Amino acid sequence: MRCMQCGQAIAEGEKYTHAGKELCEDCYLEAVSVPKTCDPLSVRAARVDRERKGARGEEGLLPIQKNILNYIKEKQRVTREEVAERFNLTPRELEKHFAVLRHCELAKGNKVGDKVYLTPF
């Protein structure tokens, strides 16, 4: 079988499942950790897909992160709860994906009164 993220072949015992996807170890580790740079796909994926090399901003996002970003853009102002419910994410998963969007300066948290809204950057 192949990794659903980077497409490389994975041995049966080295398969990781995350958010309904079957991933290789590298992609799994990337999926569960908050990246330190603005390129969530990192070196391995860039090597597999040369077109992704040097990708910035939205180009490097995981599909779920693009979907969240589009949702935020569409609504202009959403709460974490709305996003979590819309995409069926746990608060922890949402935080992780949102951290990427915030880090890439695509979305940000905005405090209005006692509520925090997610808005386009």
The footprint of Zn ion (CB under 5 A) covers: 3, 5-6, 24, 27
Return the number of the residue (4 or 38) whose C-beta is nearest Zn ion.
4
Identify whether the C-beta of residue 45 lies closer than 8 Å to the C-beta of residue 5: yes
Report, in Å, the least distance between residue 30 CB and Zn ion. Answer: 8
Phi-psi region of 105 (alpha: psi -120 to 50; beta: other; left: phi over 0): left
Report, in Å, the least distance between residue 58 CB and Zn ion. Answer: 20
**Looking at this protein, which amino acid is placed at residue 38?**
C
Return the number of the residue (21 or 103) whose C-beta is nearest Zn ion.
21
Report, in Å, the least distance between residue 12 CB and Zn ion. Answer: 15
Report, in Å, the least distance between residue 71 CB and Zn ion. Answer: 25
Return the number of the residue (28 or 117) whose C-beta is nearest Zn ion.
28
Determine how many CB atoms are found less than 10 A away from the CB of residue 29. 14
CA distances (Å), 118 to each of 58, 90, 101, 121, in order?
17, 16, 10, 9
Return the number of the residue (34 or 80) whose C-beta is nearest Zn ion.
34
